[in-house]
Chains A and B, each alone.
Chain A
């Protein structure tokens, strides 16, 4: 990762900008939402591998900052929703696409199905993914 950041710095002009945009593991919230309201039904659990990836990414950016490659200018968290029509579609997606990243306990699945069944006709199921966006500026003279 640090090597990649060095490459990015090399190709950017002086004072060029790097935007780091990524999800961060944080036991993402499961919700049932309709036009009227939304309700949290539980949280997923984070698996070890992506947690280690988050830490590695944070370490790489911290190292690049300490080495004087980039200066952090601005940072914020925001929500990115994945939304499905039904709980079973969400469960299927997680099992097929994200089984290395997150898991969902039976209790959360049951609570989600129940809230969705009692919701209005427009009720959908969604996962609130925590996103981090950081703006970095290329700093100092490079060894290019």
Chain B
């Protein structure tokens, strides 16, 4: 199967046009295997990707670029109960998940 997703990179273009990532603390809800995460995380201070799908997170952890090991964290959880203190994140992304 030779599926290509978004070969023109429109999603990344729009995401960067709508949000500033530099030195920000990011929460990505529905990160799945990290397809979108890799497109912006390098510029951030910290990125936390959450997803209820444990298998997808396993893939994301394996695929995480080595230079982003300390910058990107993954957690298996639902968005109804976020494991963070109040007012600790700058930006949240609902990634195909609302």
A interface list, Cβ under 8 A from B: 1, 3-4, 7-8, 10-14, 16-23, 57, 60-61, 74, 76, 78-85, 89, 92-93, 131, 133, 135, 142, 144
Contact = CB atoms under 8 A, between A and B. Distances in A.
For chain B, the bracket of interface size reads 35 or more
B82 A11 contact: yes
A74 B87 contact: no
Interface of B: 1-8, 10-11, 14-15, 18-19, 27, 29, 36, 78-82, 84-98
Given A10-B86, A76-B14, A78-B14, A18 B1 contact: no
A1 to B, nearest CB: 6
Given A14-B87, A16-B90, A133-B18, A60 B98 contact: yes
Interface of A is mostly: strand
B18 A19 contact: yes
Contacts of A60: 98
A6 to B, nearest CB: 9
| Residue with the greatest number of chain B CB neighbours at <10 A, chosen from A18, A85, A89 | A18
